[in-house]
Amino acid sequence: GDSVTQMEGPVTLSEEAFLTINCTYTATGYPSLFWYVQYPGEGLQLLLKATKADDKGSNKGFEATYRKETTSFHLEKGSVQVSDSAVYFCAHPTSGTYKYIFGTGTRLKVLA
Protein backbone atom coordinates (compact mmCIF):
# COMPACT_ATOMS: atom_id res chain seq x y z
CA GLY A 1 0.00 0.00 0.00
CA ASP A 2 0.91 3.67 -0.11
CA SER A 3 3.37 4.90 2.49
CA VAL A 4 5.73 7.73 3.43
CA THR A 5 8.95 7.18 5.37
CA GLN A 6 10.87 10.05 6.90
CA MET A 7 14.16 10.08 8.69
CA GLU A 8 13.96 9.90 12.45
CA GLY A 9 14.58 13.04 14.39
CA PRO A 10 15.36 15.14 16.15
CA VAL A 11 17.88 16.80 13.91
CA THR A 12 20.06 19.39 15.64
CA LEU A 13 22.14 21.78 13.56
CA SER A 14 24.09 24.95 14.06
CA GLU A 15 22.93 28.10 12.31
CA GLU A 16 24.10 28.29 8.67
CA ALA A 17 24.56 24.52 8.43
CA PHE A 18 23.27 22.51 5.46
CA LEU A 19 20.04 20.63 6.02
CA THR A 20 18.79 17.41 4.47
CA ILE A 21 15.66 15.63 5.66
CA ASN A 22 15.09 12.37 3.84
CA CYS A 23 11.68 11.27 2.59
CA THR A 24 10.88 8.19 0.55
CA TYR A 25 7.47 7.14 -0.59
CA THR A 26 5.48 4.26 -1.98
CA ALA A 27 2.59 5.14 -4.24
CA THR A 28 0.52 3.89 -7.11
CA GLY A 29 1.07 6.21 -10.02
CA TYR A 30 2.76 9.57 -9.62
CA PRO A 31 0.91 11.72 -7.11
CA SER A 32 1.97 15.20 -6.09
CA LEU A 33 4.44 15.30 -3.22
CA PHE A 34 4.35 17.82 -0.39
CA TRP A 35 6.44 19.15 2.44
CA TYR A 36 4.61 20.80 5.34
CA VAL A 37 6.15 22.67 8.26
CA GLN A 38 4.69 22.95 11.75
CA TYR A 39 6.03 25.67 14.04
CA PRO A 40 5.51 25.26 17.79
CA GLY A 41 1.87 25.65 18.77
CA GLU A 42 0.66 26.09 15.21
CA GLY A 43 -0.99 24.09 12.46
CA LEU A 44 0.73 22.66 9.41
CA GLN A 45 1.70 25.09 6.69
CA LEU A 46 2.45 24.09 3.13
CA LEU A 47 6.17 24.60 2.57
CA LEU A 48 6.53 23.35 -0.99
CA LYS A 49 5.19 20.84 -3.44
CA ALA A 50 6.05 19.09 -6.71
CA THR A 51 3.42 17.77 -9.05
CA LYS A 52 5.38 15.49 -11.39
CA ALA A 53 8.63 13.60 -11.76
CA ASP A 54 11.80 15.77 -11.86
CA ASP A 55 9.86 18.81 -10.64
CA LYS A 56 11.63 20.90 -8.03
CA GLY A 57 9.55 22.60 -5.39
CA SER A 58 11.08 25.56 -3.58
CA ASN A 59 10.13 28.11 -0.95
CA LYS A 60 11.92 30.16 1.73
CA GLY A 61 15.28 28.71 0.69
CA PHE A 62 14.06 25.12 0.97
CA GLU A 63 14.08 22.79 -2.04
CA ALA A 64 12.96 19.28 -2.84
CA THR A 65 13.09 17.35 -6.12
CA TYR A 66 10.58 14.69 -7.12
CA ARG A 67 12.77 11.65 -7.89
CA LYS A 68 10.76 8.91 -9.54
CA GLU A 69 13.72 6.55 -9.89
CA THR A 70 14.52 6.54 -6.19
CA THR A 71 10.95 7.32 -5.01
CA SER A 72 12.34 10.14 -2.91
CA PHE A 73 11.53 13.75 -2.13
CA HIS A 74 14.33 14.90 0.18
CA LEU A 75 14.10 18.36 1.71
CA GLU A 76 17.22 20.54 1.58
CA LYS A 77 18.29 23.99 2.65
CA GLY A 78 21.73 25.42 2.17
CA SER A 79 21.91 27.54 5.31
CA VAL A 80 19.44 27.05 8.15
CA GLN A 81 18.39 29.71 10.60
CA VAL A 82 17.14 29.49 14.17
CA SER A 83 13.71 30.44 12.85
CA ASP A 84 13.63 27.19 10.82
CA SER A 85 13.28 25.19 14.02
CA ALA A 86 10.05 23.25 13.53
CA VAL A 87 8.64 19.84 12.65
CA TYR A 88 8.68 18.93 8.96
CA PHE A 89 6.22 16.48 7.37
CA CYS A 90 6.43 14.77 4.01
CA ALA A 91 3.10 13.74 2.46
CA HIS A 92 1.33 12.58 -0.66
CA PRO A 93 -2.28 11.78 -1.62
CA THR A 94 -3.22 8.13 -1.72
CA SER A 95 -3.86 6.81 -5.18
CA GLY A 96 -6.86 8.40 -6.85
CA THR A 97 -8.12 10.09 -3.66
CA TYR A 98 -7.91 13.40 -1.87
CA LYS A 99 -6.70 11.74 1.33
CA TYR A 100 -3.08 12.26 2.33
CA ILE A 101 -0.54 9.92 3.79
CA PHE A 102 1.86 11.73 6.12
CA GLY A 103 5.27 10.78 7.35
CA THR A 104 5.73 10.79 11.11
CA GLY A 105 7.49 14.15 11.02
CA THR A 106 11.08 15.20 11.64
CA ARG A 107 11.85 17.72 14.34
CA LEU A 108 14.57 20.22 13.45
CA LYS A 109 16.32 22.29 16.09
CA VAL A 110 18.72 25.00 14.95
CA LEU A 111 21.13 26.43 17.50
CA ALA A 112 22.51 29.96 17.34
Partner 1 sequence: DAEITQSPRHKITETGRQVTLACHQTWNHNNMFWYRQDLGHGLRLIHYSYGVQDTNKGEVSDGYSVSRSNTEDLPLTLESAASSQTSVYFCASSEGRGPSTDTQYFGPGTRLTVL
Site for partner 1, rule CB under 8 A? 29-32, 34, 36, 42-46, 49, 51, 89, 93, 95-100, 102-105
Sequence-separated (6 or more) residues with CB below 8 Å from residue 55: 65, 66
- Looking at the Cβ atoms of 105 and 108, the one nearer to partner 1 is 105
The reply to whether omega before 10 is within 30° of 0 (cis) is: yes
Shortest distance in whole angstroms from residue 14 CB to partner 1: 26
Q: Which of 75, 26, 69, 28 is nearest to 50 (CA)?
A: 75
Is the Cβ of residue 17 or residue 22 nearer to partner 1 in the bound state?
A: 22
Cβ proximity to partner 1: between 62 and 89 the closer is 89
| CB 81, CB 39: distance < 8 Å | no
Find out whether 27 and 112 touch, Cβ atoms under 8 Å.
no
Taking the complex as a whole, the smallest distance from the CB of residue 16 to partner 1 amounts, in Å, to 29
Q: How far is the CB of 42 from partner 1 (least distance, A)?
A: 6
Cβ(71)–Cβ(26) below 8 Å: yes
- Least distance between partner 1 and beta carbon 112 (Å): 26
**Tally of residues, the chain:** 112
Nearer to partner 1, 19 or 47 (CB): 47
